[in-house]
Structure 1
Amino acid sequence: MAMTHSTQQSPTTAPKSLAGKKAVVTGGTIGMGRAIVRALTDRGAEVMYTGRSDQRLAEAQAALDTPLAHPVRADATDASAIAALGAQVADHLGGIDYLFVNQGIAEFQTLEEVTEESWDRIFNVNAKGAFFTVQRLAPLMSEGGSIVFTTVSNDQIFPGLSAYSGAKEAVAAFAKVLAAELLPRKIRVNAIAPGFILTPTMGVAELTEEQRAEFIDQGNASTPMGRGGTVEEIAAAALYLAVEATFTTGLELPVDGGFGQGIGR
């Protein structure tokens, strides 16, 4: 297609101000979620963010150190908690422009080790909780708003993550279907698919320090760029989809250092 002039912004252009915008970030107390909250508030948005632990909520609020961030204790597996979150968002923010559905847990369990209880726990947080959070909060979204799910780079699979990988694949499907359903309201729905990202928990429950170090070594070795990504890089991608990518919907964007792209090192 011929273009008479370029409309591309200079790399030095300041990020778009989000003053007056309102957002919700689920799973916002640590790691990628907290980085998304910080990126939003740094640009002037008012944010409600959730977590299940009072201690982590307090630690996050101290670290964020801004009146624009509002912690909310909420459990994505509890229908009444999701309903209460919706009421709090309506009361405090009125409506929202951006929703980042970021909560998630992973557990390494082989085929023989997976139990019905562990399967339900992982699917309830990652898939069921994600879907019903959007069901409750979507009516509060402004026309032209944006939803960003956090999935996972599933193009290459680690053994022992059947439930987690399956749950995140479900979330990727939600992004596509809801993009179609919410199109009449001009609400865009996308997902970021992180690869190996350096976070406090590495996305896996109850890792020992030795296991964490081993996981980091394996992640660095398997990532074509030779390193783990940062939570700030994930936040930048999430905000790009939410704010800047105004002609993009139904996309799952890999943010994985080439992990799932078949790039040799």
Structure 2
Amino acid sequence: MAKLDAKVAVVTGATSGLGLATARLFVEEGARVFITGRRQDRLDAAVASMGHGVTGVLGDVGRVSDVARLAEVVTAEAGKVDVLVANAGVWTWNETIDDVTEESFDAVFGVNVRGTFFTVQKLLPLLSDGASVVLIGSGAADKGGPGTTVYAASKAALRSFARTWTTDLKQRGIRVNVLSPAAIDTPAFADLPAGFKERIAAQVPIGRLGDAAEIATAALFLASADSSFVTGIDLPVDGGVGQV
């Protein structure tokens, strides 16, 4: 039996990378999946690549009105949510404290923190008792790397959310966990300086970059009954980068 058979899942920011890999695996495991993205062309392509069982909802989690519309679509078409993966986020690189502007700060916190908060809040009435919420964090939250001051802080906030929501929602049996990738080979590397990808890979104890599919399998673990006694944790999937 598929691990998410007859379940309804929502995965935000799922037009590429980790989100797309996660949504695709959830479909393979029997879920009815709703995905979001900010560009219609990429959203359509993602839906087409997965075939049946997927609905794309155009929207930016940084806009609460878009998140509310997502909730309306899911209500009308499925009536419940069993798994919510809050994946949508933005990443800044090499932005030191003196480089940060009001605009760049708000852009990161507006999506990564505010967007995640209101995604969960607006979908909360739809969450089934015993549902699983997975927040996509980052190993950057624990490392204090140079140039990550705002991004790392935004992901650290998700760790706090998981702790408080675990206690807030315990009466409904809703589990809330953080999944924290690091050193994953995603399209984001294409925008970074030449050689950066190779330097990162050389720092990974396991000897290589991770694959988006490896994050998806970890998300499936947290989404399914396999992790029925797991809540409030931060699960690093990082090849050992933050562990040794």
Pairwise same-fold verdict (TM > 0.5):
yes
Aligned to 1:25: 11
Mapping 1:194-233, distance limit 5 Å: 194-202=181-189, 207=191, 211=193, 213-233=194-214
Q: Show CA shifts across 1:5-37 (max 9, x none).
A: xxxxxxxxxx74322111000111100000110
Q: Is the 8 A contact 2:2 2:30 kept in 1?
A: no
CA distance in 1, matches of 2:151, 2:135: 15
> Which amino acid in the other structure matches residue 73 of structure 1?
L
Q: Answer yes or no: is 1:74 the counterpart of 2:53.
A: no
Partner residue, 1:12: none
Partner of 1:57: 43
Question: 1:90 matched to which residue of 2?
Answer: 75
| Amino acid of the structure 2 residue aligned with 1:91 | A
Tell me, yes or no, if the aligned pair for 2:166 and 2:232 is still in contact at 8 Å: yes
Residues 156 and 259 of structure 1 are in contact (CA less than 8 Å); yes or no, is this contact kept in structure 2? Answer: no
Candidates 127, 134, 138, aligned match of 2:124: 138
Shift of 1:112: 1.8
Q: Deviations 1:151-190 (Å, cap 9, x if unpaired)?
A: 0013323211111000000011101110111100000000
The 3-state SS of whatever aligns with 1:224 is coil
Partner of 1:4: none
The partner residue of 2:177 within 175, 190, 208 is: 190
Q: Please state how far the C-alpha of 1:207 moved relative to its aligned partner.
A: 1.3
How far does the alpha carbon of each residue in 1:30-71 deviate from its partner, in whole angstroms, 9 at most, with x for none?
A: 00000110010001110000011112102212222x210111
* Aligned twin of 1:257: 239
CA shift, 1:216, in A, is 1.1
SS at match of 1:40: helix
- Give the residue type in structure 1 aligned to 2:17: G
How large is the RMSD of aligned CA atoms in angstroms?
Answer: 1.3
C-alpha separation in 2, matches of 1:125 and 1:169: 14
Look at both structures and tell me which one has the larger radius of gyration over its CA atoms.
1
Q: How far apart in 1 are the matches of 2:200 and 2:144?
A: 12
1:81 is matched by which residue type in structure 2?
Answer: D
Alignment partners' CA distance in 2, 1:106 and 1:218: 19
CA distance in 2, matches of 1:239, 1:157: 28
Shift of 1:80: 1.0
Structure 1 residue runs of 5 or longer lacking an equivalent are: 1-14
Q: Distance in 2 between matches of 1:155 and 1:223?
A: 16
- Counterpart AA for 1:223: V
Structure 1 segments (4+ residues) deviating >4 Å = none
Residue of structure 1 equivalent to 2:221? 240
Matched residue of 1:80: which SS? helix
User: Does the 8 Å contact 1:106/1:164 carry over to 2?
Assistant: yes
- 1:76 shift after superposition: 0.7
Give the aligned partner of residue 84 of structure 2.
99
Q: Are the equivalent residues in 2 in contact too, given 1:196–1:219 (CA < 8 A)? A: yes
Deviation per residue, 1:128-165 (Å, 9 max, x gap): 00001000101101111100000001332321111100
For residue 136 of structure 1, what is the amino acid of its counterpart? K
Q: Could you tell me which runs of 5 or more consecutive residues in structure 2 were left unpaired when the two chains were aligned.
A: none
The count of residues paired between Structure 1 and Structure 2 equals 241
